Chains A and B, each alone.
Chain A
Amino acid sequence: MKRTIPWIITIVTGFVLVIAEFVPPWGKMREDVLIYFQIISVFAFFLGGGSLLKINLQKVFSKRTDWEYALVTVVGFFVMLALGLFKLGNPEMATAGYAADLNANGSWFKNLFDAVKAPLSASMYSLLAFFIASASYRAFRAKNSDATVLLVSAFIILMGQTFVGVVATGWMPDWVSFFKVENLSLWLLAKANLAGQRAILIGIALGIVSMSLRVILGIERTHLSGGDE
Chain B
Amino acid sequence: MADASPIGIFIAGVLTLGIFSFLYKDNPVYKVCEAIFIGVSAAYWAVEYFYSALYKKFWLGVIPPEGSGADPDMWLWGGAILGVLMLCRMIPKINWLSRWPLAFIVGATAGLYMMTFFVSNAMNQIASTMQPLIQDTFLATLGSFTVAIGTVTGLIYFFFSKEHKGIFGGAAKVGIWFLMVTFGASFGYTVMSRMSLLIGRLDFLFSSWATNFGQMF
Contact = CB atoms under 8 A, between A and B. Distances in A.
Interface string B4-16: 1101110111011
Contacts of A114: 1, 4, 8, 12
A42 interface: yes
A203 B202 CA distance: 41
B107 A11 contact: yes
Contacts of B54: 39, 42
B190 A46 contact: no
Interface in A60-81: 66, 69-70, 72-81
A101 to B, nearest CB: 9
Contacts, number: 405
Interface residues of B, number: 123
- The DSSP consensus for interface residues of chain A is helix
B126 interface: yes
B20 interface: yes
17 contacts: A13-B111, A17-B111, A43-B83, A66-B31, A72-B32, A79-B40, A102-B47, A102-B51, A116-B15, A122-B197, A122-B201, A153-B184, A187-B139, A199-B155, A201-B122, A205-B117, A223-B102
Nearest to A153: B184
A114 B157 CA distance: 46
A112 B5 CA distance: 11
A228 B40 contact: no
Given A73-B39, A196-B150, A224 B103 contact: yes
Given A41-B49, A117-B44, A223-B103, A21 B115 contact: yes
A58 interface: no
B167 interface: no
Interface centre among A13, A114, A195, A204 (most CB of B within 10 A): A195
B63 interface: no
Interface in A112-145: 112-130, 132-133, 136, 145
Nearest to B193: A125
Given A84-B43, A85-B50, A224-B99, A209 B197 contact: no
A47 B125 CA distance: 39
Given A126-B194, A196-B182, A199-B155, A69 B103 contact: no
